[in-house]
Every structure is written in structure tokens, then in C-alpha cells.
Structure 1
């Protein structure tokens, strides 16, 4: 049975995953008839006394999370004057308060703005200026950074999480905020499925990050699409996930400010009532302890993390990981050998991956089990609520097997970039979003990403714009020009390299120190090549990036093309 045939049967009228065609903002889309309408509906309809969030020794049930979200929602309206469409910052690591904040903010029609917890002061300042949040909810490290931001004033309302009072920043504790409205019902709000729900900042190839604005419907259709994919695999005889005899669970090993962690790892658990075990930071040994203790069934993360777990499990065989049913995730290509190693980790576990972007709300293509083992280089087949096409340089649609730019459209797509109509025009080709990925589709619709059209490095799932790093480098008085590129890395997939034309001697350490206030730590190049001569150029006058990259790779890593 083909996937198209399976979708026709599983999504037929009267079925749980029934799909119908409609138009959203004038664009043709397919919607799940039985989907929750809003983020509030998602959490409200799934209250129970089962564990939802676990952090160290703390346990919060689905019902408790809803109660806390209701109290925070009441506080945001009554104490902070937050209304529909107002932005609320979430700046913290993977604490339970992050999740509670998301549901509280979106339930009252405000817009959640989860920002990168690794950002420095300059990047926080930009995002504060860009989205103008009415309230900031932040943990201790973020409070300290925010206190140094130019855009934070005495008028900025701050709720601090697990943090002492900061002398430079007026704030209220999370505990006092929740306690003041304990027992409050969730405030009534007029929220529609296509209202804005979240702004997630994504790194572009140049300049500042762009705020990706998505609606309630877009997020919720991503969640149901993942559920549908597993139903389709079962229907097609590819793989049927065993029903665990205990509550299923997800190990949350990547930061929630990433769309895959927020949507694919955390929000996807709500309807199926999985518990989510939050890690403050990744540690393979601790991860094995948590999987064994909590009998966790899923871990979706980058190949670097899944690879760490596989290696640690081989080294420390005393941990029982037999509860795992799915291990994988996207963010970067997974080496074929790792795909096979995952499949051999336990009797029941299967490998999985997919392709998605912040702009697609993390879905796009998906692949798992035998399909993935047979096609380890593929990202899978297109989601039932999206469409793919491959486009040539002249704008023509290409046939199966032909390489061009991947374009995508459909229900889970973002509305646009916050305050950037210019970026919207550049990003869309009519209804189709230009992904910047070079790809091809095979005869069965399996997607293969083969290159990147946009000038980006993907380091352990973090998108790093080469132009942004180059701009920071040339601010140094000794740097004349710079060329930034990716360097293969066994664990992270790619690292950041830079070839730099300097007017005088310059040490790696001095340049890294200079960049600390200009870039997030993950954006700072690991590899530098210095030369006291202009960078080579092609006939058009542009820097010969491919040649520079090839020379640097060969010098650093040997004959790596």
C-alpha cells in the first residue's frame, strides 16, 4: 500500500484523523476536523492526574500544570495588564515554569516569545526592541543578562524564576505571582485558531535573527501530523509502536526554545499523556539513569545527542534502556552507522528522523523504522498537511530525481516574519516557502536534502548565519575581511570555521575574546585560518567561498571535500 492510499483511508470522513480541504488566509490547506482549536483547548482537554513534567525531584501532573497556568494567566491579565496580541518573553532553561508560561500566555490570546537561553546581551537587546514584550519571565542567568540590556527599563515587568532579586532589575518572584492567584479559573479569552500564538527567533544567513510567527492552528496541526505518521506506518505495515504497560515518557534533552524540542518533544506528549522529563543540560550518563528510572519510551534530539547515548550505552552496559521505543530526531543528517546502531540498541527501539524548520513548526518530512534503515540518507515523506515541490533555477517544477530548491506550503506553515514584510516577500514564491535547501524527491516521494542554498552552518541543530559571523569578525580593527563556512564534525555534524585576512598578527584567543560580546558562544568559530593577504575571489568579484572552504577543510581534516 502506498502512503497516498493509506492517507486516503486513515483520513477519510468519520475517521479520527479526518482531513478536509479549506482556505486559510486565502491559501489552500488541509485541516484535521478533530484537532483542538487552540493551545488552551490542548491542555484543558487533557487534564489528568498523570505526571506531565518531571524536573529532578519535582513532579507536576497534567492537572497541576493547568492549575498553575490558570493562576499565571490571571496574574498576567490582572497584575500586568497583558491583553490579546501582547508579547510575553520566556527566557530560561528547561524548567517546568517554561511550559506553564507557554500555556498561560497562549491561553489568553497573548503571544509567547521563547528566546534562546544562550543569547548574549546584544542579542537579547535586539529581540526586546523587536517584539517589545509587556512582561519578561526569566531564570537567574537570564535575569543577570537582561539587567545589562539597554532595552530593559524601570517600566519593564519581570517575573523571576528560581532567581534571587537582582539589584539592577525590579522583579517579582514566580512563587508570589502564582500564589496571589492560586485557585483562579483560567480567564475567558476570545482566541481563534488562526490567531498568533508564538514567535520563535531563527538565525538568518545574515543580520539579526528573524521572529517566526505561528498560529495556534499551525502548531496543533504539527502535533497531529506526527500522530498521523505513526498511524500510517501501522496501517502500511511498516511499524506499529507497542503499547507500553506503563505511562510513556519523553526525555527532553534539547532546549525548549528550539521548535523541535517545544513541539516534537514536549507538546506532542500532551494528547497521548506521556510524561516529560526535563534535563537542564545534556549528559549521556544522567540520560541513561533517567530513562531507566522513569522507564522512558522516547528521545528525540539531534544526531550528536543520540550518538552520545549510543556510545554511552555501549560503554556502560549496566543500564536498562529496554523501555525505549523511539530514538532519533532531526536537526542534521544522522550517519548511517548510527541509524543501524540505534536499531540494535534494544529489542523494541526504532530509529527515526525528519526534516522541518521553525517556519514549518518542525514538521515537513518524517521517516522511521525499516524505511529509515533502508534509506538512511532520506528525511522521509511529506506530511499529510503539507505539499513539497522541487524547483529549478528558472522557477520550473522539477521531476523526481532532479535536484533543485525544496519549497513547501500547507497548514503548519508560519504566518510570516515579525515586523519584516521585506523578508516575507523574499521568502515566498506565491504560496510556496523557499526553504533554502537543495534537495530531490525520489519516485516514492522520499525527500533527500543534498546541500544548503542559504549560507548557513548547522552546529548540533543550531542554525548559524555565516554572514552574521563575518560581520562580527570584521568589526575587529585588525581584520580586513573574513569568510565563514562549515567544517565537518563527527559529533555535532558541523563546526564553524573562518578564514580571516588580517593586517597584522592576531591570536585565536584574542579574536574569540573579542567576539564574546558580539556573538552567542555557539556562533564563535572553532577553527581559524589567518592570512595577511586578500581572500581569493571568483570572476564576479565575490569571495571564492567554496575554494576557501575546501582548502581549510583539507588543512584541518585532511582530504575532506
Structure 2
């Protein structure tokens, strides 16, 4: 029976793996490469659109198998690591599937890395081959074993070729290696098994009623992908699209709201997965009212809380979009997602990360002096290990220590309230920046903010807030409103109020680390009062 015909079940039972009990679907797929079978279900339907280029599902399958044969002919064997270094493109996607098809392990390198960072990653991972596009090839050391990035004209590749027949394989084998974002330190190489990738996919399809046996084959979504494919969220979008028959529209280059607006209009995009900063900057663009965006029905937002003003702006400026904006919470180390929220029209519930996905367990570890417990997660989606490192955030009972603080409300929704190590200690008082940021985002006129500690001679640290506003708000007005929402000792005493958007990192998230470093340098040099 093919994977397309196999039932993906809804029943969940506890199974023990390596002495650890996990909640898992009793009927489930076991190997990620078999998802490529679904391409035959969608045939000539467009799968990837980038600019004027269109790649069908048949093209995808044919290209991935042909490239897989090419890799095998160059000596790639099952279990070999292949370093993928490139920007979003049809070739990136085909190379990814080709690696899986021959049983190799794609290593999803960050295309933003410097030459030194690329060299360090290659030295640590020791891949059998590196595939790099033209824009990234110059950062690959000369002594690295390289293969061709492109595959030639897909239509000239000939027949689909024979499927790989490597015998029975375990779902515990490594499927891919992906890197943490590195926003709080050096990026770590996260090893994800086939079980981890497919468990998250099945949970997502289950809660959205899109399991393979539930799909309406006449319907499809056109989804805009603005995040890099080498991040875990985009990876799941890629896997899901093959199963359900979605068309993926890839943006080109760095995030540009003008390009995104044009892309939505031209391709009749229906869904967009984004971080709040991307959405805010699109809504700020002068062309937003001049483009036909009526095709856009859903925006899924992750990476940061959705505040009330952003929700209201989406409802006003993008009236075709459902007012229930999906959000969620997760880490690369747990496969990218642990909770999901369908969104809410209740302003009091905005900012919640939603409820745990069907196979995810959550508990809280108290820390002395901190207001809430650390979030611990256990799920079949979590990583096997960090490649090349003995350290692990997963304890002997299988609980992933996230470093995030949180709590569950009486409806079972998870609220993220801070970081264990991202605390400001002011005169002996522990202050969670996330709580202040959430309070600031509840003030009309505040569109973005970051809060962090800066050195103080007597108190040790004082609270610094950088606020982006589209109104004429003063420091005094912000302080007065905050005093009604948070403890007086947590109200920032240092401020920067600006109109310019906050700096972001390569994922589109606000780069708190860079902003904090800049402000601290200005304070040290006497350039900030």
C-alpha cells in the first residue's frame, strides 16, 4: 500500500522510546522521504512559483529522483550528510527532496552566515558534500567537496526513474539537521528524526482536518513563504504542501513589503505565514491600500505575541482575512511547534500561545525568585540531540527545558511570561521583560517594543524600553499608563521613543540582542540620556 493510500490516524497512545514515554499516533507515517509519493496525487498542479518560474508537482518528483540518482552516482550513500547552503528557490526544494530520496541527511545551513561561520559549521558537521547556490558558493572553503546546485532543465531529465529501495528503515533515524537561530548564543546543530518531522506534520493536519484521507482534491491553497526555507517553520510548510497539494509562492531576496504586496496580488495568495514585524511593515507600506489583496484569507503569525493594535489593523486594512489569527509557540529543539491558537476576538486572550498540540505534554519547573515556572515540553517532535555536543536541554525523563517562563490559564491556554535568563534584577527585584513588553503593546499607539536591563551604579540594573509609536506619546504618558498595569519597580526608567521600525534578524524577528548591544554602547559613550 502506498503512503497516499495509508490511513493517518487520530488515535493516540503512549509508546516508550529509549525508556521515555511519548504520546504518539498509533497509525502514522514512518519515513519523510515517502511524502514525495504525494506529488503523484497532484500531477500537473503548480507546486512552486517564484517570479515567472513555475514548477509542478510532477516536476518536483521527477527532478528530485533525477538529482538523487546524480548524488548516488557521485558516491553519496545512505546516512551521508549533505550541506545545503542557499536562498529560497525551486532548486533548494528539489535538492532537499533528492537528499531524502537517497537516504542522505540534508544539513540546512543558514544562508546569512559569514564565510567564517560557514567554515565552522562545515568543520563541525563534516558533510560528504556541499551544495551551494551562486550567491553563497563564494563562502564555501576551497577544500570542501562540492556537488552541483542545479539539476538542469527538468523537462529534459527523462523518465521518473526507479524509487529508492533501501529496505526497512527506522523512524528514529536522522531525517535532517537544522540550526538554532543563535539569537542567544552560537547556533547549535539540532538533529531531528523522521519521527520528529512526521509527528508534528500529523498533529498539524489532524487539528486542521487536512489528513490525507480528509482532503478535498479539488481544493488548494496558495501559500506565500517569506521566511527562509532553512528554518524549521518553513520546513513544515514545505512538508505540508506536498501532502495537501498546496502551491508555494516564494519571495525573492530579503523581506520587502512592496514585493510581498505585489506578489499577493499577482499570484492570488490565500495564506501567509509571517512574524508580527513582517505584518506590521506590510500594513505600514503606502501601497497596501492600492493593491488588490482580496484573495488573502488567512495569516498565521508566530515568533512573537500578537498585540491588540496589530490585530485591529489586520481587521481594518485586510478585511478579507479571518479575524481569528492563528498563533503558536515552539522551539527548533522541539521540532518548531508545541502549541497552537486559532486566534480570538477577545482582546483579553490576545498574546496567548494557545493549547498544546495533541501529542505534546507541558509541565512547569519552579525557579526560586521567579514569578512563573520554566516551561518543560515532552513530545515525539523533539530533537534527538545536538550534533557534536554532549550538552542537551532534555532531561532523563524526556522533558525539554525551554528556558521560557509561562503559565496555563483556566482555559488551558499557554502564556509566555519571560525567560529564565532574560530577567532584569533591579535592586534585588526580579523583573520579566516580556511582561513589560506585553503591557506596552496594550497601549494605543505603541506598535513595537523591546525591554531589557542596562547597568545602573546603585541598583545593579535599571529597566530600558525602546518603543516604536505612530502617535505623539511621551515618556511621561507611557509611564503613567504602565503604572496601572505593572509593578512600579518594573516601569522603565530609561526610554527611547522612535518612529523607525526596530531592527530585525534574518528570521524577521526583532533583534533584541543587537538593539540591546547598541543601546548599551551608546550609554557607555554618553550618547544616550
How would you bin the TM-score normalised by the shorter chain?
A: 0.7 to 0.9
Q: TM-score, normalised by structure 2?
A: 0.74
Q: Does structure 2 retain, via aligned residues, the 8 Å contact 1:68–1:182?
A: no
Give the CA deviation at 1:389.
0.8
Give the CA deviation at 1:325.
2.3
- The alpha-carbon distance between structure 1 residues 323 and 104, as it changes in their structure 2 partners (threshold 3 A), is same
- Secondary structure at 1:293 match in 2: helix
Structure 2 match to 1:220: 198
Structure 1 residue ranges (4+ consecutive) displaced by more than 6 angstroms after TM superposition: 176-182, 242-245
Whether 1:448 and 2:415 are equivalent positions in the alignment is: yes
Whether 1:247 and 2:220 are equivalent positions in the alignment is: yes
- The alpha-carbon distance between structure 1 residues 183 and 204, as it changes in their structure 2 partners (threshold 3 A), is closer
Query: Which of 412, 426, 432 is the equivalent residue of 2:381?
Result: 412
Query: Which of 295, 299, 305 is the equivalent residue of 1:327?
Result: 299
Q: Does structure 1 retain, via aligned residues, the 8 Å contact 2:360–2:377?
A: yes
Whether 1:43 and 2:36 are equivalent positions in the alignment is: yes
Equivalent-residue separation in structure 1 for 2:287 and 2:246 (angstroms): 29
Q: Does structure 2 retain, via aligned residues, the 8 Å contact 1:343–1:351?
A: no
Give the CA deviation at 1:530.
4.1
Query: Which of 78, 82, 92 is the equivalent residue of 1:84?
Result: 78
- The alpha-carbon distance between structure 1 residues 65 and 125, as it changes in their structure 2 partners (threshold 3 A), is same
Equivalent-residue separation in structure 1 for 2:401 and 2:179 (angstroms): 18
Structure 2 match to 1:18: 11
What whole-Å deviation, never above 9, does each CA across 1:114-171 have from its counterpart, x for those lacking one? 111100011111110111111111111210111xx3xx41x6123234xxxxxxxxxx
What whole-Å deviation, never above 9, does each CA across 1:445-476 have from its counterpart, x for those lacking one? 11111112245999xxxxxxx9xxxxxxxxxx
What whole-Å deviation, never above 9, does each CA across 1:245-296 have from its counterpart, x for those lacking one? 8631110011111111221x32222222110001123222222222222222
Query: Which of 369, 376, 384 is the equivalent residue of 2:358?
Result: 384
- Secondary structure at 1:23 match in 2: strand
Consecutive unaligned residues of structure 1, counting only runs of 5 or more, are 1-13, 162-173, 233-241, 459-465, 467-482, 492-520, 536-550, 557-561
Query: Which of 139, 146, 156 is the equivalent residue of 1:157?
Result: 146
- The alpha-carbon distance between structure 1 residues 25 and 296, as it changes in their structure 2 partners (threshold 3 A), is farther
Q: Does structure 2 retain, via aligned residues, the 8 Å contact 1:29–1:411?
A: yes
- Secondary structure at 1:428 match in 2: coil
Give the CA deviation at 1:104.
1.3
Q: Does structure 2 retain, via aligned residues, the 8 Å contact 1:51–1:60?
A: yes
Identify the range of structure 1 (346-355 vs 96-105) with the bigger mean alpha-carbon deviation: 346-355
Structure 1 match to 2:249: 277
- Secondary structure at 1:269 match in 2: helix
Q: Does structure 1 retain, via aligned residues, the 8 Å contact 2:363–2:376?
A: yes
- Secondary structure at 1:389 match in 2: strand
Give the CA deviation at 1:183.
3.9
Structure 1 match to 2:491: none
- The alpha-carbon distance between structure 1 residues 189 and 262, as it changes in their structure 2 partners (threshold 3 A), is same
Consecutive unaligned residues of structure 2, counting only runs of 5 or more, are 1-6, 424-432, 435-451, 453-460, 470-510
Q: Does structure 1 retain, via aligned residues, the 8 Å contact 2:299–2:321?
A: no
Whether 1:189 and 2:135 are equivalent positions in the alignment is: no
Equivalent-residue separation in structure 2 for 1:178 and 1:434 (angstroms): 48
Whether 1:267 and 2:239 are equivalent positions in the alignment is: yes
Equivalent-residue separation in structure 1 for 2:400 and 2:166 (angstroms): 32
Q: Does structure 2 retain, via aligned residues, the 8 Å contact 1:73–1:186?
A: no
Equivalent-residue separation in structure 2 for 1:522 and 1:144 (angstroms): 30
- Secondary structure at 1:175 match in 2: coil
Structure 1 match to 2:402: 435
Equivalent-residue separation in structure 2 for 1:182 and 1:490 (angstroms): 56
Number of residue pairs matched by the alignment: 436
